[in-house]
């Protein structure tokens, strides 16, 4: 791994997903990339042209042919990483890939560490921090939409949007500073009115960006669904049915699930994360269970969707209603499922009766339906109708925030701009509203990696696992 | 061979930097020689007749509190005073005086002549005497040698100065004074990077030839806020007006038609001029959509026949100047006493000096003023003072004086120069100071008086005055915090009558003063016993009212300083850092920034370069497993 001292190493790795396929691509980056590959294929020219594809037969040191491949050469400064890069397209066979890699390593190439190509690209100024973070998300992204989002970040959507805001802020600052330092020279600086409208525009863009974080977070970390309800209404059974595996311990005794149990599934390209909580109960409890209930409440708060489950056979009890009262205000989205439909004769109408009762009490309509944890056909219905409709589709255009770091910085940028607007309205001097704009500018530059502190550095090191 | 020093310090040049430097060293007990080519031009205002302005006024107050002379000279010779940005917040208000040029120079000359241990000599310095990387004196034009233990060069625009009027050139740094040749060549030979800058000055007009009724008078402020702690609030001289007129489309036509006779537009001048003070040729060309530019007609003094034409600096030929000036209302029959001209001169890349203003290459050699690429009397004086104090600190083997960016505009000035260098004549602006809300005119004493005491330029009585002000301010701060006001009926009705709102509960007077509509005077009306002397009350009121903003500014700076706090090891080999271009490694190796923040401000070092350094250091740290000098806060600058 790169330590910054002495000769630079050449790294190599298979860049396509593992397994059998049409082709696999092996990528090398570093000063000896082409030299190493040429040792395996002496038909290649001594001085290749950049961005040109060469046909070659790769042979090992004993002269045994490994594969027929296509070799693409990228010269220093004109490649993904900024280094000299060679890409070998071989047949998509893990054995062939393995053999080629082994030969390259024998010649002196080093297997690339996680994110090391990206790291080199970042270090060589081929991408900014936001883009690099995009690549890392891509590597980690385990759902289709997460990968799409990361691709957009890599393509520079967010960087571009932020660069525009940065530019706008600098423009405003330039005018404000000119009005201070050259006040006597009759300059045509922006009027307070113009400034206000520009700042309002920036405020709007920032609000919109900050608003996408929720969506971005859902895409990146999954849509978080909390299953809550009184003990023994079948939350764990439901979780197992949805996830199609036995994860939660199920028993006929109330209070079996004491800690949070979670499971993730992929459904139609979306990552959905289910969390089963300790059954909520207000009465006297032993301490462990009390702590579990505490966690349940916190969970309801942070979940994207809270599903309250009750026993349809027994109907909504006073205890159920009391619990709904307690949890409902904390939840962003809230639906109610009537479980154990298999035990009820006409579950649909029973459910509707119960919901009317609930409507009377809450004065608002909560979505949901009857379900049976024993009937796996209701799984599809639950996922499609209830959950996927709740996951807002990100627009194909525009930037979306997915990293907490970005969200926090842009929130602070937004606060700065809002401050400035208030002070502008209150007739404060320009040196005061300049402050908020500077705060905003600084926050945005931090996101873009234009200013540096240990926090970003630490992140770089953590993400790129350097220094091993 | 032992060398006997004739003097402790030699100061070369008697402009605004030179006079501050030589007064500082001689006051501190060092035998000092001031050498100038023209003893009639000591502390002379070669260009505009004013001192101060935005950010510059701040510096004049800082110079004054630290023990310099500029503030007193400006106050004593003030013929018009204005507080700029009076309608804006207190941090960006700036005082400016227009001075009587002759009286200003006379005031400064008298101080020089009456100063113990200070010898004035008229001569031209040809070379520096050097031995073992140390400066040991100078050689004069008659080949005589004068030895000293330190040398401060403040030659302004005189190093290889060339004046341009039209297409003709005359060697010299100012009309009537010859250039000084030799030093910059020697500096170049020593390995200093010496480059060219350009500046310009407008025509001086004869007062009697102006049709004043066609211009608009502009008067100064009635209330005088003197720069100096030595001054009273009274004007010493009669106050005069300035007059405003404007260029016309005809003016612009004439200038455009004659650009082929301008040394700037024909490529004769290679030096870079200041963007913030463009010549009229520049203004007309760059802002071609404007058909008029404002100009101020400023008297150069009470007894002077000369009028300075602010905003119209030019290097066009004399006949063209005559032609275009006469298209300006009021100047139809004008007679020009001295035509405008441009000056090109040598300056030393300021990244070659340290924060003390001593050069990196030669010990005991200090540079101050325009030679470091700055522009302006105030910028020059500030550096002269710091160079003088640090030359003394160097000779007395005392700690260096380095003002922080959060302590003074002077700190910002010097840090900018030595870390960023400059491409154009550097002028101070309030926007250069990230600590702007703290660096106010009103709190100069709070910021600098203890430093001033340590440097020792003030007599005991001045120190007593400074500490009296500090003590009274501190007393008021404490009193405002401690004393509380209760929501009694009388208080409530009084508050309402003041345009404020009733109290909800008992609050401290400090909290009450934070309300925008409440002033120190209103506190007095509410029965709070208060020192209403503006020196005390005004400053504390500002401090209290803006404390919230100052806190936010501090937060912003703290964030920015996280990178500032990252110390770079002295031994760092930038050529080992992967990801740095050769140019970046060269620059960094030469400047040797102390912190990552400083490295970041070096022009030509790209963001990716900074990241490369961080990664390199962190990588080394991880590799060696021991604590590098990363993340440790730099020790407080003293």
What is the DSSP code string of B249-265?
HHHHHHHHHTGGG-TTT
CA gap B502, A16 in Å, rounded: 71
Burial class (CB in 10 A: 0-12, 13-18, 19+), A22: exposed
Token pair recorded at residue A51: 């961005």
| Nearest residue, CB atoms, A452 vs list B91, B579, B611 | B611
pLDDT at site A179: 83
**Across A136-208, where does the E strand assignment appear?**
none
Token pair recorded at residue A193: 């009115």
Given the structure tokens 């100064």, which residue do they identify? B220
Query: Is A452 part of the contact surface with chain B (CB cutoff 8 Å)?
Result: yes
Confidence bin at B195 (pLDDT 50/70/90): very high
> Chain-wide mean pLDDT for chain B?
90
Q: Which is higher by pLDDT, B181 or B467?
A: B467
Query: Contact at 8 Å (CB) between A394 and A219?
Result: yes
Which residues sit opposite A309 in a β-bridge?
A229, A337
Q: Within 13 A of A361's CA, how many CA atoms are on the CB side?
A: 17
Give how far the C-alpha of residue B2 lies from the chain's centroid of Cα atoms, to the nearest Å. 39
pLDDT at site B70: 98
CA distance B22 to chain A (A): 31
CA gap B211, B203 in Å, rounded: 17
| Nearest residue, CB atoms, A177 vs list B311, B431, B614 | B431
Query: With 50 as the cut, is the pLDDT of residue B634 above it?
Result: no
CA distance B634 to chain A (A): 15
Give how far the C-alpha of residue B541 lies from the chain's centroid of Cα atoms, to the nearest Å. 27
Rg of chain B's alpha carbons, rounded to an integer? Answer: 26
Query: Is A430 part of the contact surface with chain B (CB cutoff 8 Å)?
Result: yes
- Which residues of B fall within a CB distance of 8 Å from A426? 516
CA gap B499, B1 in Å, rounded: 80
Query: Is A435 part of the contact surface with chain B (CB cutoff 8 Å)?
Result: yes
Confidence bin at B479 (pLDDT 50/70/90): very high
Confidence bin at B628 (pLDDT 50/70/90): very low
CB contact set of A464 (below 8 Å; sequence gap of 6+): A113, A114, A115, A116, A118, A119
CA gap B65, B413 in Å, rounded: 17
Q: Which of B299-303, B474-478, B627-631 has the lowest mean pLDDT?
A: B627-631
User: Is the CB of B616 less than 8 angstroms away from the CB of A455?
Assistant: no
Q: Which among B263, B240, B252 has a CA at the least distance from the CA of B323?
A: B252
Residues 124 through 153 of chain A touching chain B, CB cutoff 8 Å:
124-125
Query: Contact at 8 Å (CB) between B120 and B39?
Result: yes
Query: Contact at 8 Å (CB) between B528 and B508?
Result: no
Q: Give the mean model confidence (pLDDT) for residues B394-423.
A: 93
ipTM above 0.95, yes or no: no
pLDDT digits (tens, 9 = 90+) for B55-82: 999 999 999 999 999 999 999 999 999 9
CA gap B465, B447 in Å, rounded: 15
Query: Contact at 8 Å (CB) between B519 and B525?
Result: no
Strand duo B145-153 + B365-367: pairing: parallel
Given the structure tokens 């197992």, which residue do they identify? A240
Q: Give the mean model confidence (pLDDT) for residues B480-493.
A: 92
pLDDT at site B631: 37
- Which residues of B fall within a CB distance of 8 Å from A189? none
CA gap A299, B637 in Å, rounded: 50
Q: For B552, which residue in chain A has the nearest alpha carbon? A: A435
Q: For A122, which residue in chain B has the nearest alpha carbon? A: B608
CA distance A376 to chain B (A): 53
pLDDT at site A391: 66
CA gap A333, A336 in Å, rounded: 10
User: Is the CB of B607 less than 8 angstroms away from the CB of A450?
Assistant: yes
Given the structure tokens 């340590």, which residue do they identify? B454
pLDDT at site B517: 85
CA gap B82, A275 in Å, rounded: 70
pLDDT at site A288: 56
Confidence bin at B418 (pLDDT 50/70/90): very high
pLDDT at site A77: 83
User: Is the CB of A4 less than 8 angstroms away from the CB of B620?
Assistant: yes
Token pair recorded at residue A385: 């109708």
Q: What is the dihedral of CA A427, A430, A433, A434, to 10 degrees?
A: 170
pLDDT digits (tens, 9 = 90+) for B595-623: 887 887 787 777 667 777 877 776 665 44
pLDDT at site B522: 92
Query: Is B294 part of the contact surface with chain A (CB cutoff 8 Å)?
Result: yes
Residues 171 through 230 of chain A touching chain B, CB cutoff 8 Å:
177, 180-186
The DSSP 8-state label assigned to residue B173 in this structure reads S
pLDDT at site A251: 55
CA distance A50 to chain B (A): 22
Burial profile A52-78: b = 16 or more Cβ within 10 angstroms, e = fewer: eebebebbeeeeeebbebebbbbeeee
Query: With 80 as the cut, is the pLDDT of residue B136 above it?
Result: yes
Token pair recorded at residue A154: 């890599």
Q: Which is higher by pLDDT, A176 or B14?
A: B14
Q: Tens of pLDDT along chain A (468 residues)?
A: 333 333 478 999 888 776 677 888 999 999 999 999 999 998 999 999 999 999 999 998 888 899 999 999 999 888 888 889 999 999 988 889 989 998 998 898 888 876 778 777 776 767 777 777 776 666 666 666 776 777 666 667 788 889 899 989 988 988 888 888 877 766 677 888 899 999 999 999 999 888 888 777 777 777 888 888 888 888 878 888 887 765 555 555 555 555 566 777 877 777 788 887 655 554 455 555 566 566 667 777 778 888 888 888 888 888 888 788 777 877 878 888 888 888 888 888 888 888 888 887 777 777 788 888 777 777 887 887 766 666 655 555 567 777 777 888 899 999 999 999 998 887 778 888 888 998 899 889 888 876 654 555 455 445 544 432
Q: Give the mean model confidence (pLDDT) for residues B571-592.
A: 83
CA end-to-end distance (rounded Å), chain B: 36
Q: Give the mean model confidence (pLDDT) for residues B234-248.
A: 95
Query: Contact at 8 Å (CB) between A66 and A95?
Result: no
User: Is the CB of B92 less than 8 angstroms away from the CB of A435?
Assistant: no
User: Is the CB of B620 less than 8 angstroms away from the CB of A186?
Assistant: no
pLDDT at site A303: 84
CA gap A218, A270 in Å, rounded: 9
Q: What order of strands is seen across the sheet that includes strand A223-229?
A: A261-267, A270-276, A223-229, A305-311, A334-339
pLDDT at site B234: 92
Element of type H or E holding A358: helix A347-362
pLDDT at site A296: 66
Query: Is B566 part of the contact surface with chain A (CB cutoff 8 Å)?
Result: yes
pLDDT at site B561: 64
User: Is the CB of A181 less than 8 angstroms away from the CB of B622?
Assistant: no
| Nearest residue, CB atoms, A452 vs list B431, B578, B596 | B596
- For B626, other C-beta atoms within 10 Å of its C-beta total 7
Determine which of B50, B92, B312 to mutate to test the interface with A (most A C-beta atoms within 10 Å).
B92
CA gap B129, B141 in Å, rounded: 13
The DSSP 8-state label assigned to residue A383 in this structure reads I
Residues 603 through 632 of chain B touching chain A, CB cutoff 8 Å:
606-608, 610-612, 614-616, 618-620, 622-623, 630-631
Query: Is B91 part of the contact surface with chain A (CB cutoff 8 Å)?
Result: yes
Helix/strand/coil for B584: helix
Q: Which is higher by pLDDT, A249 or B460?
A: B460
- Which residues of B fall within a CB distance of 8 Å from A445? none
Q: How big is the A-B interface in CB pairs under 8 Å?
A: 120
User: Is the CB of B578 less than 8 angstroms away from the CB of A457?
Assistant: no
User: Is the CB of B559 less than 8 angstroms away from the CB of A438?
Assistant: no
Query: Contact at 8 Å (CB) between A83 and A30?
Result: yes
Q: What string of DSSP letters covers A312-343?
A: TTT---HHHHHHHHHHGGG-SSEEEEEE-GGG
Confidence bin at B586 (pLDDT 50/70/90): confident
CA distance B92 to chain A (A): 7
Which residues sit opposite A226 in a β-bridge?
A275, A306
- Which residues of B fall within a CB distance of 8 Å from A405? none
User: Is the CB of A4 less than 8 angstroms away from the CB of B577?
Assistant: yes
CA gap B72, B53 in Å, rounded: 16
pLDDT at site A316: 84
Q: For B576, which residue in chain A has the nearest alpha carbon? A: A5
pLDDT at site A356: 84
CA gap A435, A441 in Å, rounded: 10
Q: Which of A384-393, B394-403, B581-590 has the lowest mean pLDDT?
A: A384-393
Q: Which of A105-114, A371-380, B231-240, B561-570 has the lowest mean pLDDT?
A: B561-570
| Nearest residue, CB atoms, B615 vs list A182, A428, A460 | A460
Residues 372 through 401 of chain B touching chain A, CB cutoff 8 Å:
none
Query: Contact at 8 Å (CB) between B630 and B566?
Result: yes
Q: Which of A82-96, B91-105, B575-589 has the lowest mean pLDDT?
A: B575-589
Positive or negative torsion for Cα A438, A402, A404, A141: negative
Query: Is B596 part of the contact surface with chain A (CB cutoff 8 Å)?
Result: yes
pLDDT at site A286: 59
Q: Which is higher by pLDDT, B99 or A324?
A: B99
pLDDT at site B267: 78
**DSSP H helical ranges for A257-315:** 287-302
User: Is the CB of A442 less than 8 angstroms away from the CB of B562?
Assistant: no
pLDDT at site A259: 55
**Across A123-269, where does the E strand assignment appear?**
223-229, 261-267
Q: Which of A451-465, B216-230, B447-461 has the lowest mean pLDDT?
A: A451-465
pLDDT digits (tens, 9 = 90+) for B166-175: 888 988 878 8
Q: Give the mean model confidence (pLDDT) for residues B465-494.
A: 93
Query: Contact at 8 Å (CB) between A232 and A257?
Result: no
User: Is the CB of A466 less than 8 angstroms away from the CB of B615?
Assistant: yes
Given the structure tokens 């205000």, which residue do they identify? A329
User: Is the CB of B563 less than 8 angstroms away from the CB of A4?
Assistant: no
Q: Which among B119, B77, B125 has a CA at the least distance from the CA of B98?
A: B77
Query: Is A451 part of the contact surface with chain B (CB cutoff 8 Å)?
Result: yes
**DSSP H helical ranges for B546-635:** 547-564, 582-591, 596-601, 607-624
CA gap B183, B177 in Å, rounded: 17
Largest Cα separation within chain B, whole Å, is 87
CA gap B377, B47 in Å, rounded: 9
Burial class (CB in 10 A: 0-12, 13-18, 19+), B121: middle
Q: Give the mean model confidence (pLDDT) for residues B266-280.
A: 80
Query: Is B553 part of the contact surface with chain A (CB cutoff 8 Å)?
Result: yes
């Amino acid at each position: 791994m790169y330590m910054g001292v002495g000769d630079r190493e050449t790294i190599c790795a298979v860049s396509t997903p593992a397994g059998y396929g049409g082709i696999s691509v092996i990528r090398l980056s570093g000063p000896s990339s082409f030299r190493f590959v040429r040792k395996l294929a002496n038909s290649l020219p001594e001085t290749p042209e950049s961005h040109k594809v060469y046909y070659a037969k790769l042979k090992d040191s004993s002269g045994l042919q490994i594969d027929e491949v296509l070799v693409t050469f990228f010269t220093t400064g004109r490649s993904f990483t900024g280094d000299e890069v060679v890409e070998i397209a071989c047949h998509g066979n893990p054995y062939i890939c393995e053999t080629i890699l082994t030969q390259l390593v024998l010649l002196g190439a080093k297997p690339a560490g996680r994110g090391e190509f990206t790291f080199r690209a970042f270090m060589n100024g081929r991408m900014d921090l936001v883009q690099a973070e995009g690549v890392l998300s891509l590597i980690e992204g385990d759902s289709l939409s997460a990968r799409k989002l990361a691709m957009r970040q890599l393509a520079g959507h967010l960087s571009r949007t932020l660069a525009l805001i940065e530019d706008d802020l600098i423009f405003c600052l330039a005018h404000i500073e000119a009005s201070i330092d050259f006040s006597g020279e009759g300059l045509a600086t922006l009027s307070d009115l113009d400034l206000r409208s520009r700042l309002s525009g920036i405020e709007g863009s920032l609000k919109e960006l900050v608003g996408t974080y929720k969506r971005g977070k859902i895409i990146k970390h999954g849509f978080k669904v909390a299953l809550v309800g009184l003990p023994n209404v079948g939350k764990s059974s439901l979780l197992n049915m949805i996830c199609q595996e036995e994860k939660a311990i199920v028993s006929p005794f109330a209070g079996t699930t004491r800690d949070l149990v979670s499971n993730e599934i992929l459904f139609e390209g979306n990552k959905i994360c289910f969390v089963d909580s300790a059954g909520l109960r207000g009465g006297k409890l032993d301490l462990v269970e009390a702590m579990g209930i505490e966690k349940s409440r916190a969970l309801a708060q942070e979940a994207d969707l809270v599903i309250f489950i009750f026993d349809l056979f027994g109907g909504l009890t006073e205890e159920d209603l009391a619990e709904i009262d307690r949890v409902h205000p904390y939840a962003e989205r809230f639906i109610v499922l009537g479980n154990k439909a298999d035990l009820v004769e006409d579950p649909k109408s029973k459910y509707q009766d119960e919901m009317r009762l609930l409507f009377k009490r809450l004065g608002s309509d909560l979505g949901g339906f009857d379900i049976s944890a024993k009937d796996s056909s209701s799984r599809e219905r639950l996922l499609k109708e209830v959950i996927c409709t709740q996951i807002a589709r990100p627009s194909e255009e525009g930037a979306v925030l997915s990293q907490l770091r970005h969200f926090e910085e842009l929130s602070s940028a937004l606060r700065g701009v809002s401050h400035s607007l208030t002070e502008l309205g209150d007739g404060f001097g320009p040196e005061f509203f300049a402050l908020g704009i500077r705060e905003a500018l600084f926050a945005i530059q931090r996101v873009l990696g234009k200013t540096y502190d240990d926090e970003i550095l630490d992140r770089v090191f953590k993400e790129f696992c350097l220094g091993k | 061979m032992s060398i006997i020093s004739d003097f402790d310090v030699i100061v070369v040049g008697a402009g605004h930097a030179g006079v501050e430097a030589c007064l500082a060293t001689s006051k501190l007990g060092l035998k000092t020689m001031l050498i100038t080519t023209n003893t009639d031009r000591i502390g002379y205002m070669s260009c505009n007749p004013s001192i101060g302005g935005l950010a510059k006024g701040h510096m004049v107050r800082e110079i004054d509190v630290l023990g310099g002379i500029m503030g007193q000279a400006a106050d004593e010779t003030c013929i018009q005073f204005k507080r700029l940005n009076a309608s804006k917040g207190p941090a960006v208000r700036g005082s400016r005086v227009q001075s009587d040029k002759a009286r200003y120079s006379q005031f400064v000359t008298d101080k020089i002549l009456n100063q113990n241990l200070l010898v004035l000599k008229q001569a031209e310095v040809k070379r520096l005497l050097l031995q073992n990387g140390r400066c040991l004196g100078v050689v004069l034009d008659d080949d005589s040698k004068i030895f000293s233990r330190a040398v401060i060069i403040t030659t302004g625009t005189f190093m290889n100065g060339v004046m341009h009027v039209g297409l003709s050139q005359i060697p010299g740094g100012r009309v009537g004074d010859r250039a000084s040749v030799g030093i910059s060549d020697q500096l170049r030979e020593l390995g200093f990077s010496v480059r060219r800058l350009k500046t310009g000055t407008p025509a001086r007009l004869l007062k009697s030839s102006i049709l004043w009724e066609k211009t608009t008078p502009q008067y100064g402020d009635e209330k005088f806020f003197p720069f100096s702690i030595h001054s009273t609030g009274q004007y010493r001289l009669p106050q005069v007006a300035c007059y405003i007129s404007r260029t016309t489309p005809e003016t612009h036509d004439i200038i455009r038609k004659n650009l082929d006779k301008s040394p700037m537009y024909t490529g004769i001048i290679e030096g870079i001029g200041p963007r913030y003070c463009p010549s009229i040729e520049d203004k007309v060309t760059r802002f071609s959509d404007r058909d008029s530019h404002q100009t101020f007609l400023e008297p150069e003094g009470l007894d002077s026949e000369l009028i300075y034409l602010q905003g119209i600096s030019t290097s066009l030929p004399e006949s063209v100047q005559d032609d275009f000036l006469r298209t300006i209302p009021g100047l139809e029959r004008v007679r020009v006493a001295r035509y405008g001209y441009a000056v090109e001169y040598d300056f030393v890349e300021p990244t070659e000096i340290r924060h003390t203003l001593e050069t990196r290459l030669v010990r005991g050699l200090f540079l101050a003023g325009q030679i470091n690429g700055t522009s302006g009397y105030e910028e020059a004086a500030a550096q002269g003072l710091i160079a003088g104090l640090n030359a003394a600190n160097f000779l007395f083997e005392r700690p260096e004086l380095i003002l922080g960016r959060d302590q003074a505009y002077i700190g910002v000035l010097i840090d900018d120069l030595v870390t960023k260098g400059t491409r154009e004549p550097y002028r101070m602006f309030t926007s250069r100071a990230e600590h702007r809300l703290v660096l106010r005119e009103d709190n100069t004493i709070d910021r600098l008086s203890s430093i001033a005491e340590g440097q020792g330029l003030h007599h005991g009585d001045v120190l007593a005055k400074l500490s009296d002000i500090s003590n009274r301010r501190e007393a008021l701060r404490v009193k405002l915090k401690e004393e509380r006001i209760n929501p009694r009926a009388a208080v409530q009705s009084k508050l309402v009558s003041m345009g404020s709102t009733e109290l909800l509960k008992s609050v401290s007077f400090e909290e009450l003063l934070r309300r925008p509509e409440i002033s120190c005077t209103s506190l007095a009306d509410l029965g709070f016993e208060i020192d209403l002397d503006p020196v005390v009350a005004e400053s504390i009121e500002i401090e209290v009212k803006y404390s919230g903003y100052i806190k936010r500014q501090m937060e912003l700076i703290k964030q920015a300083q996280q990178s500032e706090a990252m110390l770079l090891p002295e031994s760092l080999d930038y050529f080992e850092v992967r990801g740095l271009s050769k140019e970046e490694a060269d620059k960094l190796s030469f400047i040797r920034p102390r912190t990552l923040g400083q490295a970041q401000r070096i022009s030509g070092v790209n963001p990716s370069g900074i990241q490369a350094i961080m990664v390199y250091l962190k990588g080394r740290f991880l590799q060696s497993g021991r604590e590098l000098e990363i993340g440790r806060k730099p020790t407080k600058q003293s």
